[in-house]
Structure 1
Amino acid sequence: MSHSQRPEIFDRRLFARRRARALERLAATSGDADFLLANAAADLGERLAAVSRDFPLAVDLGGHRGHVSVALAASGRVGTVLRADLLVEDRSVPGATLVADDAFPPFADASLDLVASALSLHLVNDLPGALIQIRRSLRPDGLFLANLLGGDTLFELKDAFMLAELETLGGATPHVVPFADTRALGALLQRAGFALPVADVDRLTVRYGDMFALMRDLRAMGAANILADRSRAPLSRATLARAAEIYAERHADPDGRIRATFDLVSLSGWAPHESQQKPLKPGSAKASLADALSVIDAERKNNDPQPE
């Protein structure tokens, strides 16, 4: 399927505009809404610091706000960090170096030692294709590290909007983007050709005074609805009020504060290299499962109480 025929899940032009507005808001405030990205970048830095090798050339893919670049540099494992982002021409973004869309990584084959991405790749229309391009851009034994939102992220908000619209409008439209589960993302790493793929998830629960405070943070993050098939009609006050009521009824703690779930899926994979561990070939085991089971069964029988 050609790029022009590929179904569009996300409106990437809208995504770029909202990211730009989010940067303006964060620059004009204390930047507290950046907590999720800062958390993800710190996690990438910690995982990289645990790897016992160096990476001369790294790319911070989708490097908005520079959190990942700072974390990579602080790890002590990286030489040069190249930031690649949709909005690096924006002067409010410090240290930007390359205008690039993370949906279509533009790097030459086998040109990079490390690619790292935080909270960006879950919003590309062709994630399998992006992962293949990332894997091809890595030199043999190069490393890919990423954090994506996945799993049950914002399921409370999705639930509240759906029920409110059904009650007030008789039908529902999507307001929260779809998120892949951890197992599916791990399978995508394998399909893209990564060696030693790993995918795991860390759940972060954030509490807010009400649904509207959560929505303000999402806008400040540039994470408002960018679905291509979203409704263009603004929500009525009645629907918004009912959604806030449902959210509080179904997803609040005893003190009245609501919960918002963010599932941060961590991905890692290596460009194949002959030095890496390989799985054993079928039939190469030195002992059969049947032999092992017979030994266990014999030991169990020997330990059974004997009749007097």
Structure 2
Amino acid sequence: MIFDARRRAARLARSARRFATADFLHARAAENAVGSLEVILRDFPVVVDLSAQPGPFTRALADSSVAARIGAPVAVGDTASHAQPGAAPLTLTDQSTDVIVSLMTLHWANDLPGALAQIRRALRPDGLFLGTLLGAGTLKELRGVLTEAELQLRGGAQARVSPFADGFDGAGLLQRAGFALPVSDVDRVTVRYPDLFALVRDLRAMGETNVLAGPTRPLTRDIIARAAALYAERHAEADGRIPATFEIVHLAGWAPHDSQQKPLKRGSAKMRLADALGVTEVTDAALPGSD
């Protein structure tokens, strides 16, 4: 088990009051999801939102012209289920939903392919899944300075930033879960802060602080101060502000249906690739030294 669901639930509950002060990543993810729906000219009567923070998607949808073609999003799940996506069966009937959205939540799943497979089963044939999760490049600066500060002052270091999924694996994860026509895109966002402490305040307000499983040795004030100094030394910009990288992985996939495009069978092409490209095909026999 990578993540501790109880710690994650506690972080979510504690962040509820302050989430609106640091919801910019969730709002960005929601706007992208709504933008994807706007270019699909069809109705989606039943829409389910599995996001731990469903508000941003509901607001983005309300401000969009696509709202007339889409049913009101139904938020499903509680703090416990959002804390560990996929750990328990979804409270959704198989093939009952037209669209399922999960924004900024699935990176806390201990079994991400399993969580995606549950979502796929809940979709009607030709139903759509839209998701976002944090990717491997997220908080790379913070990860580096915390590790270095702890090594310097303790002689050893624990993982302090979650091991996020590689964004380039997104389409493969969707295929593994049984989705058709999978699409994955990576959106890298750099946010500038006056110091490390302001960054940590935003992470707490988002509910995105460390919930790795196992015993965690608390960071001392000296280690935190050293990490803050290293962050400024290594990454500060001309005005003294520090950058924090967030990598948002956008996922889209469809529940399989007979009407969807399918790749041609191997060997069924009616034209050679060389002819299509207008080039001369070179065979092994034409190469110098060939027998």
On whether the aligned pair clears a TM of 0.5, the verdict is: yes
For 1:1-308, list aligned pairs within 5 A: 8-26=1-19, 31-73=20-62, 74=64, 75-76=66-67, 77-87=69-79, 102-103=85-86, 104=88, 105-229=90-214, 231=216, 233-292=217-276, 295-297=278-280
Displacement of 1:222: 0.6
Cα 1:78–1:22 shift into 2, 3 Å: same
Q: Secondary structure at the match of 2:205?
A: helix
Quote how far apart the aligned CAs of 1:129 are. Answer: 0.3
Structure 2: runs of 5+ lacking an equivalent? 282-291
Pair 65,145 (structure 1): closer, same or farther in 2 beyond 3 Å: closer
Output the amino acid matched with 2:117.
I
| C-alpha RMSD of the superposition | 2.0
1:48–1:72 CA contact under 8 A, matched in 2:
no
Distance, in Å, in 1 between the alignment partners of 2:249 and 2:215 is 25
Using the alignment, how far apart are the partners of 1:54 and 1:101 within structure 2? 31
Give the C-alpha shift of residue 65 in structure 1.
Answer: 4.9
Q: Shift in Å at residue 100 of structure 1?
A: 9.6
Deviation per CA, 1:144-192: give whole Å up to 9, x if none: 0011110300000000100101111101101100111122121110011
Alpha-carbon distance change, 100 to 221 in structure 1, aligned in 2, over 3 angstroms: closer
For 2:221 and 2:75, the matched residues in 1 are separated by 41
Offset at residue 17 of structure 1 (A):
1.2
Question: Percent identity at matched positions?
Answer: 54
| Secondary structure at the counterpart of residue 279 of structure 2 | helix
Q: 1:64: Cα distance to partner? A: 1.7
CA drift of 1:99 comes to: 8.9
Moved over 6 A (4+): 98-101
Deviates more, 1:118-127 or 1:43-52: 43-52
Q: Distance in 2 between matches of 1:113 and 1:122?
A: 23
Moved more, 55-64 or 157-166: 55-64
Output the CA distance in 1 between the equivalents of 2:218 and 2:189. Answer: 30
Shift in CA distance, 148/99, structure 1 to aligned 2, threshold 3 Å: closer
Q: Tell me, in whole angstroms, the C-alpha distance in 1 between the residues paired with 2:53 and 2:74.
A: 12
CA contact (8 A) 1:84 1:100 kept: no
Alignment coverage as a number of residue pairs = 276
What code does the residue aligned with 1:278 have? Answer: K
Distance across 1 between alignment mates of 2:254 and 2:70: 16
Give 1:236 deviation, angstroms.
1.0
Query: Match of 1:203, as an amino acid?
Result: R
Q: Quote the offset at 1:43 in angstroms.
A: 1.4
What's the TM-score, normalizing by structure 1? 0.84
TM-score under structure 2 length normalisation:
0.89
Could you tell me which runs of 5 or more consecutive residues in structure 1 were left unpaired when the two chains were aligned.
1-7, 89-97, 299-308
Hey, what's the Cα distance between the residues in 2 that align with 1:34 and 1:167? 34
